[in-house]
Amino acid sequence: MSDVLADSREDLIAAARRAMDSAYAPYSGFHVGAALLFDDGAIVTGANFENASYGLSLCAETVAASIASHAGRRGGLLAVAVLGGMGGAIDAAISPCGRCRQILNELAALGGTDPLVICVGAQETVEMRLSVLLPNAFGPANLA
Ligand code: THU
């Protein structure tokens, strides 16, 4: 039986790197790319999209999740790769912000998965399940 995550892991990280190239981050200068892996092997990417009204800026993970939703995806989320740095230079591994954790949780909860979050840095890659980043999450089940 094929292991979608094992087979696609390097492609997923490469996709996040490519996605970072389309970051629009003129205010912070911090470029972020995210890539979502689904159980059918599809990869959906996003980059941060800042706004002159700073607080309205969208994170890379949120953009990717929105694109996935618009493409009709409701669950099946196996893994998320995220990376970023000033001017696109990757240094420390970064993990999804609080709002993005909640947004990713929606997509994950719809399909009953607990995606692996792969935080890619220059020297080290840190991995953890979304449920570790967002324990006791509020989700769709609370409103059912
Ligand atoms: N950012 C992301 O895209 N994802 C995160 O998880 C953390 C932060 C973006 C938002 C903003 O455009 C820039 O990084 C600096 O905060």
* pLDDT tens-digit readout, 5-19: 999 999 999 999 999
50 Cα nearest atom in ligand 1: 12
pLDDT in tens, 33-52: 999 999 999 999 999 999 99
Please give all residues whose beta carbon lies within 6 A of any atom in ligand 1, as ranges.
25, 28, 30, 32, 48, 50, 57, 59-61, 96-97, 100
Q: Whose CA is nearest to atom 3 of ligand 1?
A: 59
pLDDT more than 90, % of the chain: 99
Pocket probe for ligand 1: among 21, 22, 59, the residue whose CB has the most ligand atoms within 8 Å is: 59
Q: Whose CA is nearest to atom 4 of ligand 1?
A: 59
Exposed / middle / buried, residue 129 (Cβ in 10 Å: 0-12, 13-18, 19+): middle
65: pLDDT strictly greater than 90: yes
Q: Are 79 and 12 in contact (CB under 8 A)?
A: yes
Distances (CA, A) of 6 to 27, 31, 35, 78, 116: 36, 27, 15, 11, 11
Greatest C-alpha distance within the chain: 49
What pLDDT is recorded for position 137? 98
2: pLDDT strictly greater than 90: no
Distance 60 CA to ligand 1 centre (A): 7
CATH class for the region spanning 3-133? alpha beta
Tell me if the pTM is above 0.75.
yes
